[in-house]
Amino acid sequence: MFSVPRGRVHVGPALGILGGMGPLATADFYRRLVARTPAGSDQEHLPVLMWADPAVPDRTAALLGRGPSPVPTLVAGARWLKRAGVCCLAIPCNTAHAYVDQVSKAVGVEVLDMIGAALRAAVDTAAGVTRVGILSTQGTRSASLYERAGARIGVDVLQVSGRIQSAYVDPAIRAVKAGADRAVPEQQIASAAAALREQGAQVVIAACTEIPLISGAAARIVPVVDSTDALVDAALARLWQGGDGVRPGRRIA
């Protein structure tokens, strides 16, 4: 079991990262967690245990009925992390959140709510935000993850058309996963963000952990909330507190 050394200033034991979906997105999440933790020394950072298994079956394919369920692999990783002593899990993959309830119930572990955190961050970008655009995988769309979360807090969720999803968003995500040059996918995401702005979106959520890596041009068109940063903030709000006992506030880059 993982134990927290004496003298730590954070709250609780280790954070578990259930990752590999994809590997670059997982590494990006951990990098951001370290960068956004207001620690004054190495010793003040959160202890983290990571399970990054790229063999997790494709979440979108499963949701669309074209591939096996990722639940057994996700549960295996979550059980390993729980045995190692983590108190909660961060899953840096929006689409995997379609399976969060199954994983949490099977393992008996808390999973941080990435979808809710991203929507709350979007609403917090400015006064009067009620229409939020989503750039995500086909799987996240089909599972209506953001639509259901938006309904709970009175936010209208907008999706790009099926044509734009297929022509711009899907290939951009695939390009990042493949390690391709990012110039073209960045312009594709910018085009999709512009379409959402035309539909009335006041802010757009980069609701796939690959999209924040190529959202620079989109952010010059419409405010973009990074779902990865939102999950980082949820982890910090849950686990970190400074030596003065004050938790950090939300800081969306």
- Residues annotated as catalytic are 93, 208
Secondary structure string (H, E, C) spanning the chain: CCCCCCCCCCCCCCEEEEECCCHHHHHHHHHHHHHHCCCCCHHHCCCEEEEECCCCCCHHHHHCCCCCCCHHHHHHHHHHHHHHCCCEEECCCCHHHHHHHHHHHHHCCEECCHHHHHHHHHHCCCCCCCEEEEECCHHHHHHCHHHHHHHHHCCEEEECCHHHHHHHHHHHHHHHHCCCCCHHHHHHHHHHHHHHHHCCCCEEEECCCCHHHHCCCHHHCCCEEEHHHHHHHHHHHHHCCCCCCCCCCCCCC
Q: Using CA atoms, how far apart are residues 204 and 218, in angstroms rounded to an integer? A: 9
Q: Using CA atoms, how far apart are residues 82 and 158, in angstroms rounded to an integer? A: 36
Residue whose pair of structure tokens reads 């983590």 in the numeric block: 86
Q: Using CA atoms, how far apart are residues 37 and 206, in angstroms rounded to an integer? A: 21
Identify the burial level of 192 via C-beta atoms within 10 angstroms of its C-beta, where 0-12 means exposed, 13-18 middle and 19 or more buried: buried
